[in-house]
């Protein structure tokens, strides 16, 4: 299986190189040349498999330059009971909300309590093996721009992994108190964390630029290092996410929520478009899906795009209670455009060039038709998000985080507007305790405590929902990182963190 660049189809590399490199040199993203199929027989066989075995089946279809043993080793090291609390790292919880049955796919039982762990616990294993195959013995420098959850999950996945160094940038006012605390107290000898004055898009743009800068690449090469990425532009991030949609379908069948072969709907709270794209890729492999419901917060650029075919990032940026979705440039949309244009690299590059120069583009009519046949877009503002947390708890005694609440709210609107009662899976992406202030505020129960950890405690007292151990243990932990930089200085911060002096 080869991987092509979305902006230059003539590039074709094996998965190890795609993963080691992270992004194609032309600025495009690596995509599989075609989608391997899951036959009906295979899907049936997966019904009785563990999550881990389902993962091995699906991953083997894509990493054809890895041996079966290597893939088994990656999967078995990543999805352990120790790290995810139970045999199935992605369990389904069913609730009734406003009269409809919703199946919440809880993806936040990993070490950092957000769905990013599903990919970032396995990516370091993929990457170290990829470096052996395609990295020429170099050390990998992982550059991360984060809106909160990726940063911590990547730090936790890569800490003290041989031949890797990891540098994380986050917007100084764009993450929750718990997220900041999680990152600033990170342990490990190969980690560095820095805040930037700017928003997530500023961080992501600067990281992409440093990443593809040939001078910086040459300097790294001299020091036997190379850049790689743990953002969802890396193929090694998306691939493990395909698995849980297939696994969720199997669990839905096993629980009697859907008849084998019948379609489901999938709702995803969306930011960078990685999670929902992985679901779409599962559909491309043959998973029976009717509709993808793309849920946004007040940064509703994707809602407008799906409804009108116009992507326009020239708009106000809002800092919301669901910070991991505060994004106006959804990187992985590029992969969807490539797929929906029939693998047309010229057309895709055209849209991306317009996005860079004008901040907007309009897709062709056939592409818009295709988009609307599979996707429905909606958004939840701050009020709707808080009301959903409140009502879901009141109705079902189920506590959800702010991002999941956006998805529940939009899914609820979709069902009411369309009358579509296809069984639905909603990606539940974070533990409510990562966003205690907003969640507690939404429940509207008395005075708000001052400190983050007192909020956690109060939330626990009110709801009885278990506080995840990795969050509870942060209390009183020493801060290791407190640097803040301007976005213009990120490049020198990177070189400094690597111990490279460029002006002798
Ligand atoms: C990252 C994140 C999202 C958005 O996922 P994308 O793959 O960027 O679309 C949603 N919710 C939470 C909690 C996240 O951490």
Please give the distance of CA 361 from its chain centroid, rounded to a whole number: 24
Mean pLDDT taken over the chain: 95
Decide if pLDDT at 339 tops 80: yes
Pocket test for ligand 1, best of 106, 110, 115 (most atoms within 8 A of CB): 115
Pocket test for ligand 1, best of 111, 176, 325 (most atoms within 8 A of CB): 325
With b for 16 or more beta-carbon neighbours within 10 A and e for fewer, the 404-434 pattern comes to bbbbbbbbbbbbeeeeeeebbbbbbbbbbbb
Per-residue confidence (pLDDT) for residue 503, from 0 to 100? 64
**Contact indicator for 166, 156 with CB cutoff of 8 Å:** no
Tokens of 264: 């489901």
Please write the tens of the pLDDT for every residue from 196-243.
999 988 998 899 889 889 999 999 999 999 998 898 889 999 999 999
Q: Tell me the pTM.
A: 0.94
C-beta pairs of 474-481 under 8 Å, 24+ apart in sequence: 474/178, 474/181, 474/182, 474/185, 477/181, 477/185, 478/185, 479/184, 479/185, 480/184, 480/185, 480/186, 480/187, 480/193, 481/183, 481/184, 481/186, 481/192, 481/193, 481/194
Decide if pLDDT at 36 tops 90: yes
- Residue 446: pLDDT band by 50, 70, 90 thresholds? confident
Length of the chain equals 504
3-state secondary structure of 57: helix
Decide if pLDDT at 281 tops 90: yes
- Residue 96: pLDDT band by 50, 70, 90 thresholds? very high
Give the atom of ligand 1 at the shortest distance from the alpha carbon of 403: 11
3-state secondary structure 332-387: CHHHHHHHHCCCCHHHHHHHHHHHHHHCEEECCHHHHHHHHHHEEEEECCHHHHHH
Give the atom of ligand 1 at the shortest distance from the alpha carbon of 116: 15
| Phi, psi dihedral angles at 95 (to 5 degrees) | -130, 160
- Ligand 1 centroid to residue 268 C-alpha, Å: 9
Decide if pLDDT at 101 tops 80: yes
Decide if pLDDT at 504 tops 60: no
- Ligand 1 centroid to residue 99 C-alpha, Å: 27
- Ligand 1 centroid to residue 249 C-alpha, Å: 21
Give the atom of ligand 1 at the shortest distance from the alpha carbon of 271: 9
**Contact indicator for 72, 56 with CB cutoff of 8 Å:** yes
Per-residue confidence (pLDDT) for residue 201, from 0 to 100? 86
Please write the tens of the pLDDT for every residue from 469-502.
999 999 889 999 999 999 999 999 999 999 998 7
- Residue 183: pLDDT band by 50, 70, 90 thresholds? very high
Show the domains of the chain with their CATH numbers.
90-110+236-436 (3.40.50.1100)
Pocket test for ligand 1, best of 29, 108, 110, 114 (most atoms within 8 A of CB): 114
Q: Atom 14 in ligand 1: which residue has the minimum CA distance?
A: 324
- Ligand 1 centroid to residue 401 C-alpha, Å: 12
Per-residue confidence (pLDDT) for residue 341, from 0 to 100? 97
Per-residue confidence (pLDDT) for residue 229, from 0 to 100? 85
Average pLDDT score over residue span 340-345: 98
Per-residue confidence (pLDDT) for residue 147, from 0 to 100? 81
Please write the tens of the pLDDT for every residue from 382-424.
999 999 999 999 999 999 999 999 999 999 999 999 999 999 9
- Residue 302: pLDDT band by 50, 70, 90 thresholds? very high
Decide if pLDDT at 136 tops 90: no
Pocket test for ligand 1, best of 144, 149, 170 (most atoms within 8 A of CB): 149
* Ligand 1 pocket at CB < 6 A: 114, 116, 149, 232, 269-275, 324-325, 403, 429-430
CA atoms within 13 A on the CB side of 94: 12
């Amino acid at each position: 299986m080869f991987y092509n660049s979305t902006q230059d189809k003539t590039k074709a590399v094996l998965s190890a190189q795609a993963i080691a490199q992270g992004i194609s040199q032309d600025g495009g993203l690596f995509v599989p040349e075609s989608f391997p199929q899951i036959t009906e027989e295979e899907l049936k066989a997966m019904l009785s498999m563990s999550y881990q075995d389902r993962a091995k089946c699906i991953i083997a279809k894509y990493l054809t330059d890895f041996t079966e043993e290597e893939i088994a080793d990656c999967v078995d090291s990543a999805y352990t009971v120790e790290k995810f609390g139970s045999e199935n790292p992605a369990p389904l919880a069913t609730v009734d909300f406003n009269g409809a049955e919703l199946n919440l796919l809880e993806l936040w039982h990993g070490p950092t309590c957000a769905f990013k762990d599903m990919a970032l616990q396995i990516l370091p294993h993929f990457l170290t093996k990829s470096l052996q195959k395609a990295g020429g013995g170099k050390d990998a420098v992982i550059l991360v721009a984060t809106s909160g959850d990726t940063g911590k999950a990547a730090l936790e996945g890569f800490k003290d992994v041989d031949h890797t160094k990891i540098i994380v940038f986050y917007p100084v006012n764009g993450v929750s108190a718990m997220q900041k605390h999680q990152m600033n107290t990170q342990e490990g000898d190969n980690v560095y964390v820095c805040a930037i004055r700017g928003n997530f898009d500023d961080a992501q743009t600067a990281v992409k630029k440093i990443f593809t800068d040939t001078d910086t690449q040459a300097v790294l090469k001299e020091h036997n290092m190379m850049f790689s990425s743990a953002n969802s532009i890396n193929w090694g991030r998306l691939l493990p996410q395909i698995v849980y949609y297939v696994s969720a379908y199997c669990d839905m069948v096993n629980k009697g929520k859907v008849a084998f072969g019948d379609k489901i709907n999938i709702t995803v709270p969306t930011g960078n478009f990685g999670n929902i794209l992985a679901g779409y890729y599962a559909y491309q492999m043959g998973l029976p899906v009717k509709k993808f419901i793309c849920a946004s917060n007040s940064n509703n650029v994707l809602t407008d795009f799906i409804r009108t075919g116009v992507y326009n990032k020239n708009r106000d940026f809002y800092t919301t209670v669901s910070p991991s979705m505060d994004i106006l440039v959804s990187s992985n949309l590029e992969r969807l455009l490539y797929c929906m244009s029939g693998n047309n690299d010229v057309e895709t590059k055209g849209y991306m060039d317009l996005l860079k120069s004008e901040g907007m583009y309009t897709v062709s009519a056939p592409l818009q038709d295709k988009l609307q046949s599979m996707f429905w877009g909606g958004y939840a503002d701050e009020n709707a998000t808080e009301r959903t947390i409140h009502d879901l708890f009141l109705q079902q005694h189920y506590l959800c985080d702010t991002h999941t609440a956006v998805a529940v709210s939009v899914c609820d609107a979709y069902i009411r507007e369309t009358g579509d009662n296809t069984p639905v899976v909603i990606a539940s992406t974070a533990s409510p305790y990562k966003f205690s202030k907003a969640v507690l505020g939404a429940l509207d129960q008395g005075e708000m405590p001052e400190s983050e950890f007192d909020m956690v405690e109060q939330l626990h007292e009110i709801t009885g929902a278990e506080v995840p151990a990795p969050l509870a243990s942060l209390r009183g932990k020493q801060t290791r990182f407190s640097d803040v930089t301007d976005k213009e200085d990120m490049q020198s911060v990177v070189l400094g963190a690597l111990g490279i002096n460029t002006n002798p």
